[in-house]
Amino acid sequence: MASQVKPHAGSIANTEPNIRDVQHTTAAIVGGGPAGAVLALLLARKGIPVTLLESHMDFDRDFRGDTIHPAVMELLDELGLAQRLLELHHTKLKSATLPTPRGPLTLAPFRRLKTRFPYITMLPQADFLRFVTDEAGRYPNFRLAMGARVEQLVMEHGVVRGVRYQSPDGWHELRATLTFGADGRFSRLRKLAGLAAIKTSPPMDVLWFRLPRKLGEGEDIMGRFGNGHMLIMLNRQETWQAAFVILKASYGKLHAAGLPALRQAIAELMPEFADRVEHLQDWKQISLLSVESDRLQRWYQPGLLLIGDAAHVMSPVGGVGINYAIQDAVVAANILTQPLKAGNVQLRHLRSVQRRREWPVRIVQALQSLGQRRIVANALNPGKTFRVPELLQILSRVPVLRDLPGRFLAYGVWPVHLQP
């Protein structure tokens, strides 16, 4: 029987569990989300032994980011996978709009981008992750362990030498040249390594739920502001995935007011959904996302590199989290493939990954923070009449500027490509 081990946050657990076996690999990747799965594929195709550890038994998750941006489509195209991905059941978002009291303001018409993929591909994240890991599975040097929850770091003389994880059959140790923490916004590895984060305070939380979608209803994203709330509807084929944006920490009050009040608030914001709000019969149908935003001061320590949400939790504003997580993976693969092959990963390589990615993250987080203060906080203030900020109006009207938001959403601060 495996012994019970509860490592403390911020410290490296030293309790020895009952280890069944010690495995070896070159790259141990913790977390099978977009960052971890894509990194595993990129390293596996270079012949590097990779083990991907995912704590869940499957990839099926509700209410996760399901957006694949043009940057990621181009990456998949470089890998020869884009057409096959597009054969999966998906929808295409051809422009990004900001809901305003006067109707939607088109901020990013993707059709003007010079790309073969001038749209955001909306695909359930689980399908995307299965697609990427199936592709990685074609390489004999790739191993995927599902239901493998990493609980401890293996430390030797201040260097991370791998991880210990718990599977349904007990504890295992995985030793690696380099360990990647791609374990998302509640990163265990971040805590175990004691890496410090700089936090910002988004003013909102989001309630996610689904409402039925009628045949022939519009394909595009819909949104509305009013009465101190914001409601955004994403087309998920058979259903609408709704994001009901509320003031931070106001969930308790909303819950106390009861489901009928929530249904009424939805119907008032979007009367076209009044005939469907009865679908919400239980709070269990509603998932609360506590919106956070932060970034690590240092993304690495000897033997360990954090990427994706584990290194920088992204606010949902702009829906760029997946794009950034995958771009981290591409930069990490570009910089680390040769050192991993040579078995000689040095701190300067890890530092170099952070340097390449930190500024894009800082810039986008600063813009998200601005959007949260200027747009979201205003929209959530029932006492204020919402006005679209002047800058956005200018951006959407002036011909030389109007493609900037689209480019920014599609590619991030600067495009990231695979090194040949």
Ligand X SMILES: Cc1cc2nc3c(=O)[nH]c(=O)nc-3n(C[C@H](O)[C@H](O)[C@H](O)COP(=O)(O)OP(=O)(O)OC[C@H]3O[C@@H](n4cnc5c(N)ncnc54)[C@H](O)[C@@H]3O)c2cc1C
Binding site for ligand X (CB under 6 A): 30-36, 53-56, 63-65, 67, 149-150, 182-185, 188, 208, 289, 308-310, 314, 316, 319-323, 325
Considering beta carbons, is residue 15 or 346 the nearer one to ligand X?
15
Q: What token pair was written down for 161?
A: 């030498």
Considering beta carbons, is residue 265 or 317 the nearer one to ligand X?
317
Strand partners, 181: 30, 306
Considering beta carbons, is residue 50 or 314 the nearer one to ligand X?
314
| Alpha-carbon span 310 to 304, nearest angstrom | 12
Considering beta carbons, is residue 15 or 381 the nearer one to ligand X?
15
| Alpha-carbon span 342 to 29, nearest angstrom | 18
Closest approach of Cβ 120 to ligand X, in Å? 9
Closest approach of Cβ 398 to ligand X, in Å? 27
Helix, coil or strand: residue 199: strand
Considering beta carbons, is residue 26 or 323 the nearer one to ligand X?
323
Give the phi and the psi of residue 165 in degrees, each rounded to 5: -135, 155
Token pair 């994880």 is at which residue? 165
Considering beta carbons, is residue 113 or 320 the nearer one to ligand X?
320
Closest approach of Cβ 15 to ligand X, in Å? 16
Closest approach of Cβ 207 to ligand X, in Å? 10
| Alpha-carbon span 274 to 253, nearest angstrom | 22
Considering beta carbons, is residue 102 or 284 the nearer one to ligand X?
284
**Which residues touch 339 (CB under 8 Å, ≥6 apart)?**
345, 346, 349
**Which residues touch 124 (CB under 8 Å, ≥6 apart)?**
66, 236
Closest approach of Cβ 290 to ligand X, in Å? 9
Considering beta carbons, is residue 297 or 346 the nearer one to ligand X?
297
Closest approach of Cβ 394 to ligand X, in Å? 26
| Alpha-carbon span 162 to 61, nearest angstrom | 27
| Alpha-carbon span 231 to 246, nearest angstrom | 9
Closest approach of Cβ 129 to ligand X, in Å? 8
DSSP summary character for residue 372: I
| Alpha-carbon span 398 to 413, nearest angstrom | 20
Q: Which of 387, 418, 313 is nearest to 81 (CA)?
A: 418
Q: Which of 352, 345, 316, 315 is nearest to 331 (CA)?
A: 352
Closest approach of Cβ 228 to ligand X, in Å? 21
Q: What token pair was written down for 122?
A: 């909306």
